[in-house]
Structure 1
Amino acid sequence: MRAALVSSVSASTSAPVSLLPLAVERTYPTELAAAVARGAVVVDVRTNAQRDVQGTLPGALAISAELVADRLDPSNPGRLAVAVDQDVEWILVSAEGDDSHRLVTGLQQQGLRRVTHMVGGYDAIKAAHMVRAVTQAQHILADVERVTAH
């Protein structure tokens, strides 16, 4: 019995590890920097009017709520370049968190496995002094490197 257990454990550890869906559909402002460091892509779904009033979120991709499902869908020809598969980690940010929370459910039903919303939205990010945390995102650093190389 023990030999069979060790054998099955050995076999399972040599298999590739697949990403599992996130257990929760929310991210807290204090988790933002760590999420960005591991490769999460932050999407600002606020309207232009809301961004004018509240302020911008440097490093976040600004996409209207109406277009976010198409832009994040890896099978859609109009997708974002970073939307390479169903396992990209996305964090949606709305003004107060309600709009992004509603979008997450639809995106998960669409097959995106690692999409969350920011609890409290932009207001919470600003209150936690995390507005600049997104500027360290991998896609932003790659863009800066590409631009400064010319």
Structure 2
Amino acid sequence: MSRPPPGARTIDQILADRRRSLHRLPPAEAYDRWRAGSLIVDIRPAAQRAREGEVPGALIVERNVLEWRFDPAGEARLPEATGYDVEVIVLCSEGYTSSLAAASLHELGLTRATDVVGGFRAWREAGLPATGGGAEPAS
């Protein structure tokens, strides 16, 4: 392994830094906020959702287009991206990618964006609403 260039950081350092700006939610609190009107946004790819299951009624926005769909000033925004005060609760498989995604939404001005501690796996383990799962990965 070569020496890292000046200023390089590990993904663990970047993740810890990004999480400092978030008030991350345990699954039960995320569920309560969703029922009160917050958006649950599942950013997992289709194959992962097929394998693990889904939250019924969650908004599906894959990670590669998230910022474009939630930028209140952007032309590609979703109807749900009604402004900067929308509470977006991002969900991934285990709660790592979702932290980076929620922090990215903060940079767009959506400062109420957050994610679920433990991701979908923790959501399902908590007995919260979930459907499907068990599909074999495509070869």
TM-score by length of 1: 0.69
The SS at the match of 2:79 is coil
Tell me if 1:64 matches 2:67.
no
Q: Which aligned segments of 4 or more residues in structure 1 are displaced greater than 2 angstroms?
A: none
CA RMSD of aligned residues (A): 1.3
Aligned to 2:123: 125
**Residue-pair matches, total:** 110
Q: Distance in 2 between matches of 1:52 and 1:36?
A: 22
Identify which range, 118-127 or 55-64, moves more after superposition: 55-64
Aligned to 2:30: 32
Structure label with greater radius of gyration: 1
CA deviation after TM superposition for structure 1 residue 131, in Å: 2.3
CA deviation after TM superposition for structure 1 residue 93, in Å: 0.2
Give the counterpart of 2:101 among 90, 100, 103.
103
The percent of aligned pairs where both chains have the same amino acid is 35
Q: Distance in 1 between matches of 2:35 and 2:120?
A: 19
Q: Is there any run of 5+ residues in structure 2 with no aligned partner, and where?
A: 1-20, 131-139
Residues 22, 103 of structure 2: 8 Å contact kept: no
Structure 1 residues 58-97: aligned runs within 5 Å: 58-97=56-95
Corresponding letter in the other structure for 1:50: Q
CA deviation after TM superposition for structure 1 residue 101, in Å: 0.6
CA deviation after TM superposition for structure 1 residue 102, in Å: 0.9
**Would you tell me which structure has more helix in proportion to its own residues?**
1
The SS at the match of 2:28 is helix
Corresponding letter in the other structure for 1:76: G
Corresponding letter in the other structure for 2:26: Y
The SS at the match of 1:84 is coil
CA deviation after TM superposition for structure 1 residue 38, in Å: 2.3
